[in-house]
């Protein structure tokens, strides 16, 4: 089965400021704010929802296809994906833009200042109806450019290709009616608890009504696990215990990769969610979203543990 992943491809540039932001911001002059922080380190990591989900799938033996856009500085990312067996024929290269970039500065108290440049992400990917194999494919539409997040669900509905809709961090760019139309007919709407509240507020739909428009709703709850809800059932999925917790960033994308792998293997949504729980526990143990590497037998052992928690 071919797994199609639409979402962002981005460079994450993470900087550390040894002091506290609050020591350099004058509350009485906030209307004329002008501050500069000398950072003592910077790390550049590959990120973005499509890249993160695709990477997780490669750790589970899949060769997914990424749908997205890279800018003139995207050759390193493209090479990384190709070296890991990710299909990139649907990745668009935009020569007059930079690849999407997130600039993150943390202070000594874990306060954070972020800036995000969408860059090439605003441009649609290279896929159309002629490229799709609906009878043997599964897709996810994750946060990325609004044009593709609207276009691809419409295309998947037209050809009968099952898809997961994951608006996540993109919720600030949607109007209610647009969002309702994009998620209509999805096999699953997936989000965290806070994002689900925003979805309900934007669309004016309660959970019961949402479940009349999508087949199921998955709500991730971090270390508390996740919920799989259908019209007539609600199933709690426990979080798999990690060896350690170093960085929760990217755990949600890893969960989605496990979910997609399980579904592609013909598992039920609830069983596939256990796969998501298992692999996300490896992501939180590493700094960065594409830094974990599964050794032989590790995933199966972790999956067995979370299944035992589920059965109890």
- pLDDT attached to residue 7: 96
Q: Model confidence over 47-102: pLDDT tens digits?
A: 999 999 999 999 999 999 999 999 999 999 999 999 999 999 999 999 999 999 98
Structure tokens at 124: 């649609």
CATH for 2-19+39-311, options being 3.40.1190.20, 3.40.50.10300, 1.10.10.10, 3.60.15.10? 3.40.1190.20
Cβ 247 vs Cβ 282: under 8 Å: no
Q: Which residues of 72-106 are buried (b: 16+ CB within 10 A; e: fewer)?
A: eebeebbeebeeeebbbebbbbbeebbbbbbebbb
> Structural domain boundaries of the chain?
2-19+39-311
- pLDDT attached to residue 20: 87
Cβ 239 vs Cβ 222: under 8 Å: yes
pLDDT(31) > 80: no
Pairing of strands 217-220, 226-230: antiparallel
Q: Model confidence over 145-177: pLDDT tens digits?
A: 999 999 999 999 999 999 999 999 899 999 999
């Amino acid at each position: 089965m071919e797994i199609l992943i639409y979402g962002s491809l981005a460079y994450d540039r993470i900087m550390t400021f040894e002091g506290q932001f609050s020591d350099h911001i004058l509350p009485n002059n906030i209307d004329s704010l002008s501050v500069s922080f000398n950072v003592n380190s910077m790390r550049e990591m590959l990120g973005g929802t499509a890249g993160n989900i695709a990477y997780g799938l490669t750790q589970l033996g899949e060769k997914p296809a990424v749908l997205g856009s890279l800018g003139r500085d995207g050759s390193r990312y493209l090479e990384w994906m190709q070296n890991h067996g990710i299909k990139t024929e649907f990745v668009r290269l935009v020569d007059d833009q930079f690849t999407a970039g997130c600039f993150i500065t943390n202070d000594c108290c874990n306060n954070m200042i972020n800036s995000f440049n969408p860059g090439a992400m605003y441009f649609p990917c290279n896929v159309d109806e002629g490229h799709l194999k609906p009878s043997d494919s599964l897709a996810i539409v994750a946060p990325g450019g609004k044009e593709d997040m609207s276009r691809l669900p419409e295309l998947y509905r037209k050809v009968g290709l099952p898809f997961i809709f994951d608006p996540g961090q993109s919720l600030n760019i949607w109007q209610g009616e647009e969002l309702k139309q994009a998620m209509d007919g999805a096999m699953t709407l997936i989000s965290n608890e806070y994002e689900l509240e925003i979805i309900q507020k934007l669309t004016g739909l309660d959970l019961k009504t949402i479940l009349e428009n999508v087949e199921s709703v998955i709500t991730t709850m971090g270390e508390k696990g996740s919920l799989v809800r259908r019209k007539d059932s609600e199933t709690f999925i426990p979080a798999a215990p990690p060896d350690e917790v170093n960085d929760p960033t990217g755990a949600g994308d890893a969960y989605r990769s496990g979910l997609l792998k399980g579904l592609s293997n013909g598992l039920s949504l609830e069983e596939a969610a256990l796969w998501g729980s298992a692999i996300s526990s490896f992501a939180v143990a590493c700094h960065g979203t594409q830094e974990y590497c599964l050794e032989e037998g590790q995933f199966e052992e972790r999956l067995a543990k979370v299944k035992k928690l589920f059965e109890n």
